[in-house]
Amino acid sequence: MKVLEVKALSFTYEDGTPALKEIDLTIEEGEKVAVIGPNGAGKSTLLHLVAGFRTPFHGSVRVMEEGLDERTADQVRRHIGLLFQDPDDQIFMPTVEEDVAFGPVNLSLDRVEDRVARALRSTSIEDLAKRKPHRLSHGMKKRVAIAGVLAMEPSLLLLDEPTAGLDPHSRSSLIELLRNMSKTMLIATHDLEAAAEIVDRVVLLNGGVAFDGGLAELMTQDAVLEKAGLEPPQISKLFKRLRGMGYEANILPVTLDQGVAEAVRFADREKGRSRDRKT
Amino acid sequence: MIVAHVRGHHTRPEELDEHARASWLGKLDPRAKIVGAVVFAVATALLTRTDLILASLLLAVSFGAMSQVPYRHLVRMYLGALPFILMASVSVFLFSGLERGFDMWARTSSCVITLLVLASGTETYELFSGLRRLKVPKLVSTLLMLTYKYILILGDELARMKTARTARGFKVGRGLFDGRGFRIISYTAGMVFVRASARADNGYEGLRARGFRTDMRQMRTSRLKARDFAFMAWFACLSSLLVILQLGASQ
């Protein structure tokens, strides 16, 4: 089932600055997609458009087969959970528990307490339920914001720079959380290493859609990367250098796990070669 | 608060709620506190006898002393309101004499102190939700909540700008004749409003993204307990006594 279908979407800001041009994007149920691109490419704008916060636009946006326009924005938003870049923009209520319940209560959803408990559990912040959100660390606030979105049980999660401003530990635990979450996601990010860990597919915005496919495949397209000003993950850079030294990987690794698998393969191959030389 | 903040001395607005948590008042239902305090303030406003007005002031001060809200905090807040109280009292004094001016000061102070204790002894969101549950129009209670959120954002932005300013060696001058300092403070204030406005827009989108329309609804609603009824009854008795004595004196 198509959770999101965007066709020929163009949007220009009120001051005349073009933000998006002829964007086509389809996301199937359960798919995790990252929107990447340089600053000003329109990643956040795309998310806000899909959430119905930027109207009018040219083209069409359908969420769960429901068309989005000014009239239907509130209804379409019921299918969507939008995580803002800065959790302080999202957290409103005086306690974590009440903030997580904010969406379900507003939308008059059933079993609010169950939803809150589940959302707190899935983000591992049950022990923060009674705490004041403004007293928490940035990483914890992000989790509270995610729990607030999850409690609404949306069909599509839109995450705007989820790893921005997090320390390494918070970042990796958030990546782990998002990776294990079985939700349809569209993530706007600069963080290619995080994207590599979480998503199956990337969409590169640079003017229009400059690339749509797997991250490993994108990493092999140097011209596209250079034009978009993107830096490959460190692990991909390492294997590109090794390729120059004669070590050709089956696929260009984009995650640490893939890198380890390729390194083990190289080591096995070297062992075989030295065995052959001896015999 | 905002002026003090721009000049560089700030209390984070959420810290105000600390007193509510420290006070026994914080455990009462906000509706009981609002009803009790408002009944008392209305009764005080009806008083004309100086001795009864002074009794009301004494009761308000005793309420403050018993509330466990730090007296320094109450005094600071009262001093903030004092210019307005004096403005009213002095105009009455000029037109109706010293005694009336004094009555006006004592009467207004009594009401202000009671309401300050109510505000300090109640978490801000609790106060707004109490108003909402007392059937104050949802537009009013929601506007109050959003205004409070906006003040928090303003406070945040001011704190950031203050840090950025101090990090680059800025010090507040010694008065209005420090032209450069005054100019920088003006820029700070202007920039804070621009930045806070952008953040407030994001915050509003954050609310809409989670289904907010016009009403700030709560997950749980509490019931009035025996202690809440006792609190209201106590204030109702005191207020009735003052009004009865006042009416007795008028006849």
Domain count, chain B: 2
pLDDT at B198: 83
CA distance B86 to B81: 9
- The shortest CB-CB distance from A77 to any of B149, B156, B209 is to B209
> Do B148 and B189 belong together in one domain?
yes
pLDDT at A29: 95
Domain of residue A274: give its range: 233-279
Judge whether B130 lies within some domain.
no
Which phi and psi (to 5°) does residue A271 adopt? Answer: -60, -45
Residue A132: how many other CB atoms lie within 10 Å: 17
Global pTM exceeds 0.80: no
Residues of B in contact with A106 (CB under 8 A): 210-213, 217
Query: What b/e sequence results for B184-201 when a residue is b if at least 16 CB atoms lie within 10 Å of its CB, and e otherwise?
Result: ebeebbeebeebbeebbe
Mean of pLDDT over chain A:
90
CA distance B78 to B82: 6
**Bridge partners of residue A12, in order along the sequence:** A18
And the tokens for A64? Answer: 């769960």
CA distance B141 to B164: 35
Residues of A in contact with B208 (CB under 8 A): 53, 77
Long-range CB contact pairs, B183-186, < 8 A, 24+: B185/B6, B185/B7
CB B133 within 8 A of CB B221: yes
Domain count, chain A: 2
Question: What's the pLDDT band for B230 if we cut at 50, 70, 90?
Answer: very high
For an interface test with A, the pick among B12, B210, B220 (most A C-beta atoms closer than 10 Å) comes out as B210
What phi-psi label fits residue A204: left (phi over 0), alpha (psi between -120 and 50 degrees) or beta? Answer: beta
> Do A10 and A82 belong together in one domain?
yes
Cβ <8 Å between B202 and A84 = yes
> Do A190 and A61 belong together in one domain?
yes
CA distance A106 to B216: 8
Flag whether pLDDT at B167 surpasses 90: no
> Do A240 and A103 belong together in one domain?
no
Gyration radius of chain A's alpha carbons: 21
Q: What is the pLDDT of residues A85-101, one digit of tens each?
A: 888 888 888 889 989 99
Residues of B in contact with A77 (CB under 8 A): 208-209, 211
- The shortest CB-CB distance from B206 to any of A90, A98, A105 is to A90
3-state secondary structure of B117: helix
> Do A11 and A120 belong together in one domain?
yes
> Do A274 and A214 belong together in one domain?
no
The nearest alpha carbon in chain B to A157 belongs to B209
191-230 in B: which are within 8 Å (CB) of A?
Answer: 199, 202-203, 205-213, 217-219
**Bridge partners of residue A160, in order along the sequence:** A188
129-168 in B: which are within 8 Å (CB) of A?
Answer: 149, 152, 156
> Do A111 and A79 belong together in one domain?
yes
Cβ <8 Å between A105 and B199 = no
In percent, the amount of chain A with pLDDT more than 90 equals 47
Q: How far is CA A242 from each of CA A239, A250, A257, rounded to the nearest angstrom?
A: 5, 12, 17
Mean of pLDDT over chain B:
84
| Residues with Cβ within 8 Å of residue B134, at least 6 apart in sequence | B31, B34, B35
Cβ <8 Å between B210 and A148 = yes
In percent, the amount of chain B with pLDDT more than 90 equals 41
And the tokens for B124? Answer: 């801000």
CA nearest to B38, candidates B149, B129, B137, B127: B127
Domain of residue B198: give its range: 1-14+136-218
3-state secondary structure of B65: helix
Judge whether A226 lies within some domain.
no
**pLDDT mean over A208-224:** 89
Flag whether pLDDT at B251 surpasses 70: no
CATH number at residue A16: 3.40.50.300
CA distance A41 to A55: 18
> Do B105 and B70 belong together in one domain?
yes
Q: What is the DSSP letter of A89?
A: G
Q: What is the pLDDT of residues B186-199, one digit of tens each?
A: 888 888 888 888 88
**Roughly how many angstroms between the first and final C-alpha of chain A, as a whole number?**
57
> Do B114 and B228 belong together in one domain?
yes
CA nearest to B11, candidates B111, B80, B113, B83: B80
Cβ <8 Å between B210 and A48 = no
> Do B6 and B39 belong together in one domain?
no
**Residue reference for tokens 């001795």:** B51
CA distance A147 to A124: 9
Judge whether B125 lies within some domain.
no
And the tokens for A210? Answer: 């400059």
Q: What is the pLDDT of residues B16-68, one digit of tens each?
A: 677 777 778 888 999 999 999 999 999 999 999 999 999 999 999 999 999 88
Residue type, A67: G
> Do A240 and A110 belong together in one domain?
no
pLDDT at A34: 96
**Roughly how many angstroms between the first and final C-alpha of chain B, as a whole number?**
46
Judge whether A203 lies within some domain.
yes
CB A193 within 8 A of CB A216: no
Question: What's the pLDDT band for B8 if we cut at 50, 70, 90?
Answer: very low
Helical axes B98-120 vs B71-96, angle rounded to 10°: 150
State yes or no: ipTM above 0.85.
Answer: no
Size of interface A-B (CB pairs under 8 A): 71
Residues of B in contact with A91 (CB under 8 A): 206
**CA dihedral sign of residues A265, A266, A271, A272:** positive
And the tokens for A6? Answer: 């965007």
The torsion of the CA quartet A102, A107, A110, A115, rounded to 10 degrees, works out to: -40
**Residue reference for tokens 């959003």:** B146
> Do B113 and B74 belong together in one domain?
yes
pLDDT at B1: 44
